[in-house]
């Protein structure tokens, strides 16, 4: 009978040791996770912020933005250590020094994976800079860009250079001959061919070349007869490619001329009516659209069939004032920005269907309005908006921050409104999503925004210390992202490739 209390005491001590070992084991795993988070936080701080971030205390010196989620990740990984370390030591003592130390080390290693997972959840994915093309000494500001067929093309006044978007390797160059300068280029390519125009600096520009995007070879080369010239300077909206046709705005807008994109052969000429001229031209896969301005009349949009140049429809913009400024953006569908004259004139987005019927998609009212800005790259300006399908989506302001909003073109309904966390430097359509480049965090980052719903998903940041303020973005199905910079600043790379 006397052995019963002793046996109970021994069993109690054993149970207590088991509890201590279990608690210490859990603590060891959590310590491993916490230390992993702290190591990754320190790594992110060094790579993304140069070792410091946030405010510099009482002096108010700013060291730049901190990496995503770094504040709360540090707190939840550091503060619990004050309780976890004693608990782990208690477990080591209960298990015995040798077994406890060995077991604790193994369990701490087991905490690395959950710690890395926790860091990823809080910080988000990271992207890598796979390659870059540095600025060439004496570089000239880029005037335009093309993307397609795994290539990124950067155009300067003295020629075009193409790079492989998988590796950054140079693929081809097409110099502008002599001392002539690039004065226009199509916004995009069609069937693997783009169009450029060049001529003597400060003089009319009349030399046109179809460029094979895959090889850089000249698909065709034409000098127009005397008098049929583009205006001089980097002229956006004077050359377009679409529907198998290259179209040029000639004679200061007196006519539009279409040639076969494949070989440059003449197809048609559409002369502007008397006392009228074409201001801009845009091309899509199924129609060419010219912006026609006539004396004492509202501007009109004229749609032409790409192959024949036959007029499909001709519709004036909607305006209550007798004078309106119009920016033509796209041809398929036809979308334009219309600004009425007068102190209370409206600013509107108008869309035109396949019959020329106009719809006022949006009227500016200081309620999350689209900015619809174009900047940089004189021949193919960057846009902070995109037209895709029956939708226009672009930059706006949401609670004093950058955001995106989308409208349906057919009836003007607002589809969604989304606030962006890190600003908007560039955007591009990729399938059913809009890819947004931001630069408001510690490093530039990419965000995917679903076109159907506006739901955003952060793809990750990438360690690029200097991002040009005017940069074109492309996204490929393979998860490759390419940036083309306009600027010649020596801190900026001309091109950058980003990968998961």
Model pLDDT for residues 110-146, shown as the tens digit of each residue: 878 887 787 677 766 778 899 999 877 667 889 999 9
Are 317 and 358 contacting, i.e. CB atoms less than 8 angstroms apart?
yes
Are 131 and 167 contacting, i.e. CB atoms less than 8 angstroms apart?
yes
How far is residue 80's CA from residue 231's CA, in Å, rounded to a whole number?
Answer: 69
How far is residue 498's CA from residue 464's CA, in Å, rounded to a whole number?
Answer: 10
How far is residue 267's CA from residue 262's CA, in Å, rounded to a whole number?
Answer: 12
Q: What pLDDT, on the 0 to 100 scale, is given for residue 63?
A: 45
Residues 234-262 pLDDT 10s: 678 899 999 999 999 998 899 999 999 99
Residues 265-315 pLDDT 10s: 999 999 999 999 999 999 999 999 999 999 989 999 999 999 999 999 999
Q: Which residue has the tokens 């009482």?
A: 58
Query: Is residue 12 over pLDDT 70?
Result: no
Query: Is residue 61 over pLDDT 60?
Result: no
Query: Is residue 41 over pLDDT 90?
Result: no
Query: Is residue 105 over pLDDT 70?
Result: yes
Q: How confident is the model at residue 33 (pLDDT cuts 50, 70, 90)?
A: confident
For 346, residues 6+ apart whose C-beta sits below 8 A from its C-beta are 320, 338, 339, 340, 363, 364
For 273, residues 6+ apart whose C-beta sits below 8 A from its C-beta are 292, 294
Q: What pLDDT, on the 0 to 100 scale, is given for residue 304?
A: 98
- Find the mean pLDDT for residues 195-224: 92
How far is residue 433's CA from residue 420's CA, in Å, rounded to a whole number?
Answer: 15
DSSP 31: H
Gap between the terminal Cα atoms of the chain: 71
How far is residue 465's CA from residue 492's CA, in Å, rounded to a whole number?
Answer: 9
Cis status, amide bond into 425, omega within 30 of 0:
no
Q: What pLDDT, on the 0 to 100 scale, is given for residue 62?
A: 41
For 185, residues 6+ apart whose C-beta sits below 8 A from its C-beta are 143, 144, 146, 155, 194, 195, 196, 197, 239, 379, 380
- Find the mean pLDDT for residues 457-477: 89
Dihedral of CA 101/104/106/111: which sign?
negative
- Tell me the backbone φ, ψ of residue 354, rounded to 5 degrees: -65, -15
212 - beta bridge partners?
193
Residues 75-96 pLDDT 10s: 777 777 777 778 667 766 766 6
- Count, residues in the chain: 500
Range of weakest confidence among 3-17, 75-89, 98-112 = 3-17
Q: What pLDDT, on the 0 to 100 scale, is given for residue 1?
A: 46
């Amino acid at each position: 009978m006397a052995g019963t209390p002793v046996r109970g005491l021994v069993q109690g001590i054993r149970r207590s040791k088991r509890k201590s070992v279990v608690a210490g084991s859990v603590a060891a795993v959590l310590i491993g996770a916490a230390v992993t988070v702290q190591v990754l936080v320190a790594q992110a701080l060094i790579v993304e912020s140069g070792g410091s971030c946030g405010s510099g205390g009482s002096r108010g010196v700013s060291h730049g933005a901190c990496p995503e989620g770094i504040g709360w990740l540090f707190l939840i990984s550091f503060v619990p250590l004050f309780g976890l370390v004693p608990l782990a030591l208690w477990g080591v003592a209960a298990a015995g020094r040798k077994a406890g130390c060995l077991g604790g080390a193994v369990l701490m290693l087991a905490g690395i994976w959950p710690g890395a997972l926790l860091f990823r959840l809080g910080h988000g994915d990271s992207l890598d800079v796979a390659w870059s093309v540095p600025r060439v000494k004496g570089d000239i500001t880029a005037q335009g860009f093309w993307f397609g067929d795994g290539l990124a093309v950067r155009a300067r006044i003295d020629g075009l250079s193409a790079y492989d978007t998988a590796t950054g390797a140079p693929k081809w160059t097409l110099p502008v001959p002599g001392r002539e300068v690039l004065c226009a280029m199509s916004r995009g390519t069609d069937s693997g061919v783009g169009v450029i125009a060049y001529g003597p600096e400060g003089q009319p520009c009349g030399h046109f070349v179809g460029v094979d995007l895959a090889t850089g070879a000249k698909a065709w080369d034409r000098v127009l007869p005397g008098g049929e010239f583009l205006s001089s300077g980097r002229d956006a909206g004077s050359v377009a490619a679409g529907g198998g046709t290259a179209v040029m705005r000639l004679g200061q807008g007196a006519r539009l001329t279409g040639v076969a994109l494949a070989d440059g052969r003449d197809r048609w000429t559409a002369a502007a009516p008397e006392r009228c001229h074409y201001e801009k031209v845009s091309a899509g896969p199924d129609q060419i659209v010219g912006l026609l301005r006539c004396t004492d009349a509202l501007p009109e949009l004229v749609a032409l069939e790409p192959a024949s140049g036959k007029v499909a429809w001709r519709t004036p913009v909607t305006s209550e004032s007798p004078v309106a400024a119009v920016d033509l953006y796209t041809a398929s569908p036809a979308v334009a920005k219309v600004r009425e004259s007068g102190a209370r004139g409206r600013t509107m987005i108008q869309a035109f269907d396949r019959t020329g019927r106009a719809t006022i998609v949006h009227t500016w009212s200081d309620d999350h309005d689209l900015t619809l800005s174009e900047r940089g790259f004189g021949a193919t300006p960057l846009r902070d908006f995109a037209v895709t399908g029956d939708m226009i989506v672009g930059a706006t302001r949401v609670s004093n921050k950058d955001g995106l909003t989308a409208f349906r073109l057919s009836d003007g309904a607002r589809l969604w409104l989304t606030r962006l966390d890190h600003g908007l430097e560039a955007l591009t359509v990729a399938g059913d999503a809009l890819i947004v480049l931001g630069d408001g965090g510690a490093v530039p980052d990419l965000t995917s925004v679903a076109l159907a719903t506006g739901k955003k998903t952060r793809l990750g940041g990438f360690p690029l210390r200097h991002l040009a303020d005017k940069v074109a973005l492309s996204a490929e199905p393979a998860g490759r992202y390419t940036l083309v910079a306009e600027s010649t600043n020596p801190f900026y790379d001309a091109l950058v490739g980003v990968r998961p």
